[in-house]
Amino acid sequence: MIELMMTLDSHSGRHLYEQIYDYMKSEIRKGHLLFGERLPSTRFLAEYLQVSRSTVDLAYGQLLSEGYIESRPYKGFFVCQMEELYDLQNTMEQTTADGEEEPMQFRYDFSPNVVELSSFPFGTWKKITKETLIDDRKELFALGHPQGDGELRTTICHYLHTSRGVNCTPEQIVIGAGNDYLLLLLEKILGRERKIALENPTYKRAYRIFQSFAWQVGTVPMDTYGMCVDALYESGADLAYVMPSHQFPTGIVMPIGRRLELLKWAAGEPGRYLIEDDYDSEFRYRGKPIPSLQASDQADQVIYMGTFSKAIAPAIRISYMVLPRRLLERYREQCLFFSSTVSRIDQSILNVFIRDGAFERHLNKMRKIYKSRHDVLLSSCRSLLKRVTISGENGGLHLILHYHGEQTEKELIRRAAEKGIRVYGMADSHIGRLPDDWQPTLILGYAGLCEDEIETGIRLLSDCI
Amino acid sequence: MIELMMTLDSHSGRHLYEQIYDYMKSEIRKGHLLFGERLPSTRFLAEYLQVSRSTVDLAYGQLLSEGYIESRPYKGFFVCQMEELYDLQNTMEQTTADGEEEPMQFRYDFSPNVVELSSFPFGTWKKITKETLIDDRKELFALGHPQGDGELRTTICHYLHTSRGVNCTPEQIVIGAGNDYLLLLLEKILGRERKIALENPTYKRAYRIFQSFAWQVGTVPMDTYGMCVDALYESGADLAYVMPSHQFPTGIVMPIGRRLELLKWAAGEPGRYLIEDDYDSEFRYRGKPIPSLQASDQADQVIYMGTFSKAIAPAIRISYMVLPRRLLERYREQCLFFSSTVSRIDQSILNVFIRDGAFERHLNKMRKIYKSRHDVLLSSCRSLLKRVTISGENGGLHLILHYHGEQTEKELIRRAAEKGIRVYGMADSHIGRLPDDWQPTLILGYAGLCEDEIETGIRLLSDCI
């Protein structure tokens, strides 16, 4: 039985039946009364409110006729399914995190922020989930270590070492529910008096997160090797946020020379750190995987961050960071009271998924799928598009199209949209005023499109370019 | 003697004590019963209404604990002073904040921060998990709405409304991986130029989290009704963090008069907000659950926070906050880029768990278990311990022992530890220097001990006191 908190006001000037009607309608519209819930009987409600039954009948009749409730013979009155309510929510779901423009229908969306989910090994995940829960391991329901479970940290440590050359121990790893949370935690670890420099253009989401911090936030220009180190020195920053394996959005892979310069910068003052966001390094199509920047760090100055969002699935809210030992001390002393944000059940499932090889198999499968899409995109662009050059094509899940024609970036995007093609402009990733000589540049993600879609999409795009 | 026009309806489906409570409350709220008026004695009223005295006792107990009336020894019950008559709405239940203590070997640990996990409905949870994964619903693996999935928010909204009287729509709810994360997000929503006041003593973990913010953090003393409002005004704070349903650690239930004063304080300046941490309000043993402070908020000034850590299991990293509409706008504009921290699979499981009644059944079961432990602890303390008084015993998962002997709090804790008993001192929850006249006070949590353990533990404790 639903709980009522209705009071009638006999002096309000509104009929009592209207007050009952208003109350019920508002409860349904607000979602306080849910689809399928039974309303109190008219007799009960009349007694409860000390009004006549005909008053309640009137109110219910009105709700019936407006479709808020339905009557089931011999059972009573029930709340109807409300399209309107759900519509309201659906619209909300579509407002993307970045507050993008209203949703349009695109036939081919070259978003760099999606992954292919059809190939996700649901069967394996289900099996591991079932096995994880089978033993009634009640410790899984207790609060775990704030840094994450030791087993999972050991597994991640091993994975990072073999796949990315990261040098660390499980003690240095902090597991959290997504990169955004880990960055919030990092703010607390690093303290308020900080100045951070980002590459420009950069991952806008990280920029916004840093802007919400008590830190000063600035950008440093890039050349073809990545962040310009001279400008970094000049910036006065003591933190630099970089993506050396495959910079977003430019796709630049930072060469070892520039990496060493950055490490030297960091070594120049005691409190300096590099934040390495290794967001999509699992995917590389030419040559050997490039080790992380952290792998070259000899002086305990790189904070390494990674996530399973791209490699497994965005809803697996598990990211990790590797803290330099000096920061680990600070974290242990000052921030260990922040509870873990990942359920132990999820940690346990992921641990088995990686440990037993399912993750490696999944990655190999996805590499094949993505490489095929990557190759089709690359060859389609090369054969179909005029006046463009391509960069950033050696890894990751997107590539970059530099346009050398008459149109502006905005015009290109608009004309593509008219054909049902969604492409993304690099200007959106640029911080501050665009330079006058800005070269129109498009970001083409291909993880969410199959080969045919990619080819057709590029064919349509060629009409606009 | 006041005039009564109360009639009871034994067929209404509402307990008789609730009808008495409702009538009295409504008379007070309407101003028919004025400040200082004496209520009929329980004996008189019982005879007059032809009900048992315990029925009237229950009703008066509820009015007492909500602060509508007060008891004066040898004189009777009197109507309390109320700041203003806000339109309070009513209901039943609640939520947490959590903490971990370093594991030490004690035979009997009266920790206030554990919950009983053996009674967790693993079977149901497993079944729902299996059903959730069975359909290969790949959208569950995509990134969801930053505030959490619409369905779960609707379910929580409904639950909060019926159980805690919280007035909100699903749009106002933000779901996050634990209270700590939600507080971090709240810092970003409320901005840096803030001064927050906490009750003293308070939940130390929240205090530490606020200290890590860019905010000024201060404390305000408490009297027997909760946070002292005069001192709050003097503090210059524009945020106040309170636990009105069952303050940690004191166990004080804030009466309605004090609640209204706090709401008036918040209404005094545009940017003021109350943060209500409703951490363990699911568990109440005497009378009806007390509605949340948010339920009395007419001016969009209460940020309501709750968690499933205590009511389900600490590892279920799902908490929620209800944002006032004005803050919701700010959040939407400035913080929506922070991704959700809870996996959609977990959200979906929890949604079904609540929606299909398993949560309610689990809560009912746990209430029985905890009430039995609570009753054993209370009677053991009363019969076995000398020189103590007890408070905070009406709800939650701990009670407070005030010691009136020669030993200090530290001595008591140390002597108990020698017997293998872990008890917790209230001094640990006190911020700043202890007053010279500090009264030794112990916090006894009972959620993690069975009845025999509680009794044996208190028996052993009696040797130390």
CB distance B141–A316 less than 8 Å?
A: yes
- Scored b (16 or more CB within 10 A) or e, B329-351 reads eebbebbbbbbbbbbbbbbbbbb
Tell me the helices (H) and strands (E) count for chain B, helix number first: 14, 16
Residue B341 corresponds to which tokens in the numbers above? 């921290």
- Beta carbons of B457 and B108 less than 8 angstroms apart: yes
Q: Pick B454 or A18 by higher pLDDT.
A: B454
pLDDT tens-digit series, residues B19-29: 888 888 888 87
Instruction: Assess B177–A contact: CB distance below 8 Å, yes or no.
Output: yes
Q: Which residue has the tokens 């290794």?
A: A278
Separation of alpha carbons A38 and A2, rounded Å: 7
E-strand spans in A358-423?
Answer: 388-391, 398-403, 421-422
Q: How far is B462 from chain A (nearest CA, A)?
A: 31
How much is the average pLDDT of B120-147?
83
* B9, B150, B346 ranked by CB distance to A89: nearest: B150
Mutate to test the interface with A, among B132, B140, B181, B335 (most CBs of A within 10 A): B181
10 Å Cβ neighbour count for B453? 17
- Nearest alpha-carbon partner for B445 in B94, B99, B179: B99
Question: How are beta strands A239-242 and A319-322 bridged, if at all?
Answer: unpaired
**C-beta of residue B172 within 8 angstroms of C-beta of residue B325:** yes
Asked if residues A458 and A426 have their Cβ atoms less than 8 Å apart, the reply is no
Q: List, for residues A276-324, the tens digit of each pLDDT value.
A: 999 887 887 766 667 899 999 999 999 999 999 888 888 789 999 999 9
Give the pLDDT score at B117: 82
Q: Is the peptide bond before A103 cis (omega within 30 degrees of 0)?
A: no
CA atoms of A345 and A349, how far apart (whole Å): 6
Helix (H) / strand (E) element for A307: namely strand A302-307
| Amino acid identity at A393 | E
Q: Is B7 on the interface with A (CB under 8 A)?
A: no
Of B92 and B27, the one with more pLDDT: B27
CA dist., res. A32 & res. B154, Å (int): 8
8 A C-beta contact, residue B113 and residue B445: yes
Enumerate residues 6+ apart whose C-beta is below 8 A from B311: B94, B95, B96, B282, B359, B362, B363, B366
Q: Which residues of B touch A31 (CB under 8 A)?
A: 154, 157-158, 169-170
| Contacts with A, B 221-280, CB within 8 Å | none
pLDDT at B92: 25
A33 lies within 8 A of chain B by CB: yes
> Could you give the CA distance from residue A359 to residue A313 in angstroms, rounded to a whole number?
11
Residue whose structure tokens are 């000049």: A234
Q: Which two tokens stand for residue A278?
A: 């290794």
Facing residue for B126 by CB, picked from A34, A133, A339: A133
Over residues B313-336, the pLDDT tens digits come to 887 899 999 999 999 999 998 898
For chain B, give the percent of residues with pLDDT over 70. Answer: 92
Whole-angstrom CA distances from B136 to A28, A117, B133, B427 are 32, 10, 6, 52
Contacts 24+ apart (CB under 8 A), A130-136: A130/B126, A130/B129, A130/B130, A131/A352, A132/A345, A132/A348, A132/A349, A132/A352, A133/A345, A133/B122, A133/B125, A133/B126, A133/B129, A134/B126, A136/B122
- Residue A164's closest CA among A449, A401, A395? A395
Nearest CA of chain A to the CA of B92: how many Å? Answer: 9
For residue B138, is pLDDT > 80? no
Do residues A178 and A309 make contact, with C-beta atoms less than 8 angstroms apart? yes
pLDDT of amino acid B143:
76
Q: Give the Å distances, CA to CA, from B399 to B58, B102, B425.
A: 20, 22, 12
Q: Summarize the confidence of residues B404-420 as an average pLDDT.
A: 93
Over range A326-355, report the average pLDDT. Answer: 92
Among A5, A89, A99, beta carbon nearest to B165:
A5
Flag if B180 and A338 touch (Cβ within 8 Å): yes
Q: Tell me what percent of chain A is helix, strand and coil, each rounded to the nearest 5.
A: 45, 15, 40
Question: Which contiguous run of DSSP H or E holds residue A409?
Answer: helix A409-418
Helix extents (H) in B35-146:
42-49, 53-65, 122-134
Signed CA dihedral, A393, A396, A397, A399: sign only: negative
A63: its two tokens: 């709700």
Distance between CA atoms of residues B250 and B227, nearest Å? 11
Residues of chain B found within 8 Å of residue A138, distances taken between Cβ atoms: 117-118, 120, 122
Identify the residue whose tokens are 């760090």: A297
pLDDT tens digits for range A78-94: 887 654 433 333 333 33
Residue type, position A322, single letter: V
Three-state DSSP at B322 gives strand
DSSP classification of residue A169: -
C-alpha–C-alpha distance, residues B265 and A246, integer Å: 53
Answer yes or no: is pLDDT of A239 > 90: yes
Chain A residues with CB-CB distance to B138 below 8 A = 117-118, 120, 122
> Tokens 């389609």 — which residue?
A380
DSSP B202-231: --HHHHHHHHTSSSEEEEEEEETTEE-HHH
Backbone angles phi, psi at B310, to 5 degrees: -85, -40
Among A337, A350, A353, the residue to mutate for chain B (most B Cβ within 10 A): A337
How far from A156 is each of A237, A347, B407, CA to CA, in Å? 31, 11, 50
Structure tokens at A183: 């960055």
Helix (H, G, I), strand (E, B) or coil at A389: strand
Mean pLDDT of chain B: 87
Please, which residues 306-325 of chain A have a Cβ atom closer than 8 Å to chain B?
A: 309, 313-317
pLDDT of residue A35 exceeding 80:
no
A114: nearest CA in chain B? B142
Pick A219 or A40 by higher pLDDT: A219
Query: How many CA atoms within 13 Å lie on the side-chain side of A397?
Result: 25
**A187, A211, B1, B192 from A274: Cα distances, Å:** 14, 17, 76, 25
Q: Which residue of B has its CA nearest to A205?
A: B337
Minimum-distance CB partner of A346 among B91, B192, B343: B343
With cut-offs at 50, 70 and 90, classify the pLDDT of residue A67. Answer: low
Tens-place pLDDT, residues A174-183: 999 999 999 9
Whole-number Å distance between alpha carbons of A34 and B351: 13
Structure tokens of B301? Answer: 């000034």
Q: Are B166 and B294 in contact (CB under 8 A)?
A: yes
Report pLDDT digits (tens) over B28-43: 877 777 777 888 888 8
Chain B hits for A118, CB-CB cut-off 8 Å, are 138
Query: According to DSSP H, which parts of A95-203 are helical?
Result: 122-134, 150-164, 179-190
Give the model's pLDDT for residue B13.
74
Spatial separation of the C-alpha atoms in residues A257 and A259, rounded to whole Å: 5
Would an 8 Å CB–CB cutoff place B136 in contact with chain A?
yes
Residue A333 CB neighbour total at 10 angstroms: 9
- pLDDT tens digit sequence for B184-228: 999 999 998 999 999 999 999 999 999 999 899 999 999 999 999
Which residues 6+ apart lie within 8 Å of B24 measured at CB?
B33, B39, B59, B63, B68, B69
Q: What is the pTM of this model?
A: 0.78
Could you give the CA distance from residue A236 to residue B231 in angstroms, rounded to a whole number? 43
- What ipTM, to 2 d.p.? 0.76
